[in-house]
Each structure stands twice: as C-alpha cells, then as structure tokens.
Structure 1
Amino acid sequence: MLGIEQRSVCEGVNFRSVKDTRFKTVRMSVNFLLPIQKQTAASYAILPFLLSRASREYPDFTKLGQRLAELYGAELNADVQKLGDAQLLSVSAVGIANRYALQGENIAGELSKLLCSIIFDPPFEDGLFPKEGFEQEKRQTIELIDSEFNDKRIYARQRCEEIMCSNEPYGIKRYGSREAIQNLKREELTEAWLYLIHNAKAEIMVLGDCDPAPVYEGFCEAFQKVGKKSTVDCPTKIIKQADRVKDVTDKMDVAQSKLVMGFRTQTAIPDEKVETSTLMASLYGGTPNSKLFLNVRERLSLCYYCSALYNAMKGIMLVQSGVETKNIDKAREEILVQLEKIKKGEFDDSEVDAAKLSLSNSYRTLSDSLGGLEAWYLSQTFSNQIKRPEEAAAIVNSVTRQEIIDAANRVTLDTVYRLEGNGEEQV
C-alpha cells in the first residue's frame, strides 16, 4: 500500500484514494448516501441501475458498450446497500491501469469522465428517463426482491431485522417494497435524481494503480457544474437495549426451518469498543472454532448451520441458524447458553487465539482485492478515525480476555424470529 489520501470535493462530498501499484487495474465509484425512508426507498433503489444504462453522450447500450470496449473492456456496475440507517447508492467503474494501455491512453481519466457522464447527464426524454429503460429496471428490481424472498436464509435474516428495527429506518428493506417498485412513475425518478445530486452525501473512491489528482479535479468540476446544495444528514439510530423480547413465528412450506435471533450490543461506530465486540462475536459464532459451531451444530447437532454476525454500524448482532422445526426451541436455548458462557468467562485462550487469527486474516486479505478495500473504507464513512485493515487487526489482537467478557455482558436479546416449515418443500 503506497498511500491513502482524503480530501473534500465540496460540501458533503468526500474524495478518498487508495493507491497500490500491486494491482493492474483501477476501481472508482461514486457512492451517494441518503436517509432510508419508506416513501422514497424504491425510487432511489432503482436509480443507480437506471443511471448506469446510458448517458446523453452514450444514449443506449450499444454506444455505451462500444465505449467500454474502447477502454480495454472496462466495466460499469451499480449497487444498493444499507449503511446503518442510510441507503447507499453506488455506481462504479473498473478498468486497466494506465501503464498497460497500448497507446498510452489515460484510462483512469476516461473512466472518471464516463462516470460523470452517466451520473450527471442522463439521456432524458422531455425531462424524464427513457421509458423502456425505466420499465426494464423496475422488472429487474422486482426480480431481485423475489430472489431474496426465495432464498429463505436471506428472507429470515431480513424479517428478523424488520421486526427488530420496526421503529427504526434500518427496518426498511434496501430496495423498498415490491409494491412500491411496481407503482413507481417516471416523474418520481427525475425528482429523485435531482435530489440525489444536489443534496445527498457522497463518498468518491479511487483505488488501485492510479494517479488520483486528475480524477479528483474532474469530479470537482462535475459537482461545481451541477451546483451542490445543502447536504442532508444521515444519522443512525442506536438502541442500547430492548424493552422486551419480541418473539415472532411465520410458517411456510419449506423443508428447513430458520431461527434468527437479534441482539443489541450497546456498541456501534464510532465507539472505540467496536473491535472488541467484533472479536466477541467471532468467538461466539464467527469461525469453525466458535462456541456456536462447536456446540450447537457439532456437539449437539441441533442445526445445519449456526453463526453470529455483528453489524458495527447499528450495534446489533444476529445469530442465524437452519434447524428442524422440532429442534427450534432447543437450539434457541443452547444459543443463549453459549452466550452466557462467554459472559462468565468460560472459554480458554486457544478459542480466543483462533478468533483473533481468523479476524486478522480476514482484515489482511481485504487488501488482496479492490472491491474488498472499497467496502472496508466505505464502512468507515461515519467513523471518527479511518483505520487501515492492518490497524484494525492490531487492535483486535490487543483485546484482552476481560474486554471480551465485558463486551458479552453488554449484549441483550431483542428479537427471536422463527420461520417454521412443514418439510414438504426444499428451499
């Protein structure tokens, strides 16, 4: 890693570059953040996909595809995620590093121009996005929603989050609802685009073997032309502890039932104890040597899989498991038993060492891909201090036994969600 630079483009727009000459490619993305809201989630969700289809300069797939081919097979991608209570809308481009261009072309510069073209200059028809592209993106987004419903592991996790965070923006799905997507009008997309470029917080990322200075200047010029207005704030609501445990059961024709348990950890970004809670969750259910895997899955054979995942942005931890319906209550009790053991310090140094090693390896391998590095630095958008993966690994390795116990004792159960099947259909 040669260097990380961060600077402001304009109010609410941050530019971050990670230069690393090990890579033969460059990746750049524009990531817009807006508070996720039920009434606007659907329109913003299809916007990045709609923008990545074309621009006024390249008004259809053919011409855009030709331009990407001219740039040595460069790629354009779009994505929608949640980052805390914010909806994260991303448009990215990937291409070869300048030093591999046969005619000495400035590939990075051309990629940044292309991104600016599709984001800031859409191919409007009478002030609206083209009807054909609009209808196609609606259909494809509905297909994405349906695919997540059909994957019952994803569906169960989303249902637990929805129940657990029903009074928080995080409880809203990243694409909004299926019905809201179906009812979208083209006029709404124009309004959403205007608000996005004028008011959204933005994180511009440039990673790989690239001189970031010309790219930075290009985005400065682009945002200056559109006239950035006031930037909307994107706060995340952190609930320390639930008033009561919510217990919800749904029934479907699936062979394997799902049990998802949601916990509040009292620790979230920018809290300095985030790495401690991350390690505690890894010890609890993040590795093949964890409490949940060795005991709930292996020793007692109560489930097909059982793992814990800590969300540092929201300060919540989810334990996900696939179980036979008859074993759901037993698995629930044993999951709580294993958490109680960590709270009492009933674990040995070898378990801690295995969890630290696993996390350290995960952090270090992030540097092996530009996509991994991008996701890492985007996840720190709301942190007080930006850490490199190696720095996070060092912090994790310094966590003491007592700090793990303290982190576990901050954890309380919030939600129990059961998706019970009757064994007639395999999903």
Structure 2
Amino acid sequence: MSFFQEKQTKLNGITVHTVKTDKYKTNTLVLKMMAPLKKENVTKRAILPFILQRATERFRTTGELRNHLDELYGASLFADLSKKGENQIITFRMEVANEKFLSEKTPLLEEAISLLSDILLRPLLKGSAFDDGIVKEEIRTLKQRIQAAYDDKMRYSNLRLVQEMCKNEPYALHVNGEKDQADDLTAENVYEYYQQVLKEDKLDLYLIGDFKEAAAGEMVKKYFDFSANTHAYPETEQASKQHVEEKEVIEEEDVKQGKLNIGYRTNCLYNDDSYFALQVFNGIFGGFSHSKLFINVREKASLAYYAASRVESHKGLLMVMSGIEVGNYDQAVSIIKEQMAAMKNGDFTDDDLNQTKGVIRNQLLETIDTSYGLSEILYQNVAANSERTFDELLDGISHVTKEEVVESASKIELDTIYFLKGKGAQNNG
C-alpha cells in the first residue's frame, strides 16, 4: 500500500514536488529555500523571510497584503526558519481553500501561486533596497526572537550545548542569527544578500492537495522564473568517524532549576542504512514516555523534572535534555550514562523494541495527517540528497532488529556534558 505519490519536476530553476490527494480540504504550497550556514550571512538570512512577507509591489503595506489573504477565502501565509545539518532553511507556507468546494469558481490555487511569487520575486523596494521602515521594525523583532532563546533556559542550555559541542562547525550558528550582527543589518545589505539568495539557494516548491497537476505546473512556470539560479546542492556532512574527546562545561546563571544537557555523536546520518536502527534506539533510550531516561531518571530515581533525548539526523547528533536539582548533578549524569551503557549491552526487551517501533510508526502516520507535516517528511530527502520514500521509511523502521539497535548504539560517542546551574549552587548539594 502506498500512502501517497510524489512527483518531481524541474521548472525554471526550481524543483516542483506535487502530491495529488483528496485527503485535505485545502491546497497547500510550501516553498523551501536552502543555503549553507555561514557566519557572514546567518543573520541577514534570518531576517529575510520576515521582510519579504510584509509587503510587495502589488500590496504595499502589511494591511493590504493581509486583506488580500482574507479575500482569498481566509488563506494563510507563514514564514519560518530551520536548520538541517549545516544548512539554514527558509520556509514560506500558504494554505488556501480548495476551489472545487466553492460556489463561485475563483481560481484560488493560481491566486496563491501568484501571491507567493510576488512575495519572493517582487518585494516592496525603496530605490535599490528594501523599505527602510520595514527593515528597522523587523530588526527589533529579530532581536526579540534571539533574546527569547536566551530567556528560555531550556532552549538556552540546548543552544549552549550545541555551541560548545560544535565549536568551529557551521552547526554552532543559531538559526535566528547572532544578536551582535543584528545592528549591522541595513535595507541595502539585506537586499544585496537577497539577490544572492535568488541566484544560489536550492529551491523546492511543494504543492499538496486535490488539483490538476499539469495545470498547476503551468501556473508555476508562469509565475516563477529562477533560470539564473545555480541550484547549488546542500552541503551534506559525511558521517566520517571523528575523534571525540568527552568534555564538561558548567556555567552559572540566575536559574532555580539546573539544566543538564548531554550531546553525543551518533556517526550516522539520515542517508545511512543504520538510520532506522538509530531512530528505534532513540525511542527506547529517551524519545518516548516508555523510554529508559523517562523511567529511570525521572520516575524511579525522581532526579529530573523532565528527561528526554532527540536525534538531529542531518548532523549526526543525539541530545539529552533534563531539568534537575543542582545537588543531583553527579547522580543524574551517572544514571544517564548507565542507560546508554544498557543500550550498548542490549539490555532492553523485545516488548521495548516492538512498542517503540509501533509508536514511531504512529508518529509518522500522524505527521502526514497534515499537509505541512507531509511536506516536512518529504523535504528530509532534499536536505539529505536522498530518495527514500515514505513507504520505505515505515518499512525500514518495522524491520529493525535488536542486533541492529545494539550496533547503532555501539557507534554513539559522548562528546559534551553541559550544565547550567544557579549562582553559587553546589553540584553535590
């Protein structure tokens, strides 16, 4: 059984991915723009989508643009940023009602494609730069977004772990850019960077819903032209075995609850055959409420307010996040290390294995219940330069053996222990 069919076409320098399905009541457009993370561009790139979605040549104020969305039967538009491996990705997402359900025959899909094209290719300019007023407002908002990651100590400790663990690697850069670069942004230098983006980014447009694919392709051809785009492929890391030395970083801030974050190198990437086993490993180790971290660190030992792990499969990292009393630091580190050792020793049951595979399967099926989730699953392939289908993903997870999980665990190496504690607090209570 195939859950959906994805068709890919290269048109005018953009890769168009269509998924024709009557599962959703709306049609969704998701535009993904990928470029390597670079210190000199990271902050310009972080502000760019938010400037672009504010106004266009046709809709010269944010109010006009939002009114137009309302006229398109309440269409929605969102901009977002993410990191996958060493790449920084801009996402624009639009959702419009499916015109076949309307009494009036408004060409909603074409209107949406046209508007998305306006946002990307015909932004509001003042002379040969972006609108200075919009840029200044967005700089203020960007600083608030960057600051929010520092104010939320759970996010901050994870950010600090990544900065320490990936020093001198592009992945250490924050997706929202660097606060000290925000004041250097101008309407001119961001516009200059935007022109580079149009020439160099890897561009992928997802159209998901119930529409005529040939007609949709013609609309994209009509409204989008990136024929000058070099269509650079993403920089995918090689999961080459690197020398890892365990390090410990302890910092003090005004926090009531200690944040213990531990980073491991998995030596496995999304493209690798062992990816499926790593996902199952993570589920048993710390990914779900039946996992070893949850049960042994949080429930049995009552050492943590939360304890979980997640995998960054495009960078080859495994991150453990937990909130603990400062006095429980040594004991918590010790129990987390014990859970990793247990995984490496195959100390888990067939029930653990089967339950985890079932939960991962359900999670994947839930993800494709929304059109945006479906586009995210499909985009994993683009980010990894891979061609794995959704059916292969489900199949791969279902066939993982205990031996493969143990083998996957054996490649995992502890890299960095990061602990954020309250000022003057003693680690050993």
TM norm structure 1: 0.95
Gaps of 5+ in 1: none
- 1:168 paired to 2:193: no
CA contact (8 A) 2:113 2:223 kept: no
Render the CA deviation track for 1:334-361: whole Å, top value 9, x for unaligned.
1111111111111111111121111111
TM-aligned CA deviation for residue 147 of structure 1: 1.3
Q: Which amino acid aligns with 2:278?
A: S
- 1:229 paired to 2:229: yes
- 1:316 paired to 2:303: no
TM-aligned CA deviation for residue 151 of structure 1: 1.1
Residue in structure 1 matched with residue 328 of structure 2 by the alignment: 327
TM-aligned CA deviation for residue 9 of structure 1: 1.9
CA contact (8 A) 1:54 1:61 kept: yes
Q: Which amino acid aligns with 1:335?
A: I
TM-aligned CA deviation for residue 227 of structure 1: 3.9
Residue in structure 2 matched with residue 3 of structure 1 by the alignment: 5
TM-aligned CA deviation for residue 215 of structure 1: 3.2
3-state DSSP class of the match of 2:268?
Answer: coil
- 1:375 paired to 2:376: yes
TM-aligned CA deviation for residue 143 of structure 1: 1.0
| Equivalent residue runs for 1:184-195 within 5 Å | 184-195=185-196
Moved more, 358-367 or 101-110: 101-110
User: CA separation in 1, counterparts of 2:128 and 2:342?
Assistant: 61
Q: Residues 320 and 158 of structure 1: is their aligned pair in 2 closer, same or farther, counting only changes over 3 Å?
A: same
TM-aligned CA deviation for residue 223 of structure 1: 4.1
CA contact (8 A) 1:253 1:423 kept: no
3-state DSSP class of the match of 1:304?
Answer: strand
User: CA separation in 2, counterparts of 1:67 and 1:423?
Assistant: 56
TM-aligned CA deviation for residue 2 of structure 1: 5.0
3-state DSSP class of the match of 1:379?
Answer: helix
| Equivalent residue runs for 1:209-288 within 5 Å | 209-224=210-225, 227-237=227-237, 238=239, 240-288=241-289
User: CA separation in 2, counterparts of 1:130 and 1:119?
Assistant: 15
TM-aligned CA deviation for residue 74 of structure 1: 0.6
TM-aligned CA deviation for residue 66 of structure 1: 2.0
User: CA separation in 2, counterparts of 1:51 and 1:307?
Assistant: 37
Residue in structure 1 matched with residue 413 of structure 2 by the alignment: 412
User: CA separation in 2, counterparts of 1:170 and 1:71?
Assistant: 39
TM-aligned CA deviation for residue 102 of structure 1: 2.7
User: CA separation in 2, counterparts of 1:419 and 1:179?
Assistant: 23
| Equivalent residue runs for 1:338-349 within 5 Å | 338-349=339-350
Residue in structure 2 matched with residue 15 of structure 1 by the alignment: 16
Q: Which amino acid aligns with 2:313?
A: A
TM-aligned CA deviation for residue 242 of structure 1: 3.9
| Equivalent residue runs for 1:51-130 within 5 Å | 51-130=52-131
User: CA separation in 2, counterparts of 1:375 and 1:121?
Assistant: 26
TM norm structure 2: 0.94
The percentage of aligned residue pairs carrying the same residue is 28
User: CA separation in 2, counterparts of 1:341 and 1:184?
Assistant: 50
Structure 1 moving runs of 4+ over 4 Å: none
Q: Which amino acid aligns with 2:10?
A: S
Q: Which amino acid aligns with 1:131?
A: D
TM-aligned CA deviation for residue 232 of structure 1: 3.2
User: CA separation in 2, counterparts of 1:3 and 1:366?
Assistant: 16
TM-aligned CA deviation for residue 241 of structure 1: 3.7
Q: Residues 79 and 114 of structure 1: is their aligned pair in 2 closer, same or farther, counting only changes over 3 Å?
A: same
Gaps of 5+ in 2: none
Render the CA deviation track for 1:4-26: whole Å, top value 9, x for unaligned.
21111244x31111222021111
| Equivalent residue runs for 1:294-313 within 5 Å | 294-313=295-314
Q: Which amino acid aligns with 1:322?
A: G
Residue in structure 1 matched with residue 389 of structure 2 by the alignment: 387
Q: Which amino acid aligns with 2:235?
A: P
Render the CA deviation track for 1:147-172: whole Å, top value 9, x for unaligned.
11111111111111111111211111
User: CA separation in 1, counterparts of 2:230 and 2:356?
Assistant: 44
Moved more, 378-387 or 288-297: 378-387
User: CA separation in 1, counterparts of 2:216 and 2:119?
Assistant: 16
User: CA separation in 2, counterparts of 1:52 and 1:420?
Assistant: 40
TM-aligned CA deviation for residue 367 of structure 1: 1.8
User: CA separation in 2, counterparts of 1:17 and 1:227?
Assistant: 20
TM-aligned CA deviation for residue 27 of structure 1: 1.2
CA contact (8 A) 2:266 2:413 kept: yes
Q: Residues 160 and 96 of structure 1: is their aligned pair in 2 closer, same or farther, counting only changes over 3 Å?
A: same
User: CA separation in 2, counterparts of 1:204 and 1:39?
Assistant: 26
User: CA separation in 1, counterparts of 2:323 and 2:97?
Assistant: 42
TM-aligned CA deviation for residue 229 of structure 1: 3.3
3-state DSSP class of the match of 2:23?
Answer: coil
User: CA separation in 1, counterparts of 2:5 and 2:233?
Assistant: 29
User: CA separation in 1, counterparts of 2:361 and 2:170?
Assistant: 32
User: CA separation in 2, counterparts of 1:218 and 1:422?
Assistant: 59
TM-aligned CA deviation for residue 183 of structure 1: 1.8
Q: Which amino acid aligns with 1:416?
A: I
TM-aligned CA deviation for residue 422 of structure 1: 4.5
Render the CA deviation track for 1:388-411: whole Å, top value 9, x for unaligned.
1x4322211110010010000010
Render the CA deviation track for 1:93-151: whole Å, top value 9, x for unaligned.
11111212331112111100000011001111101111111111111111111111111
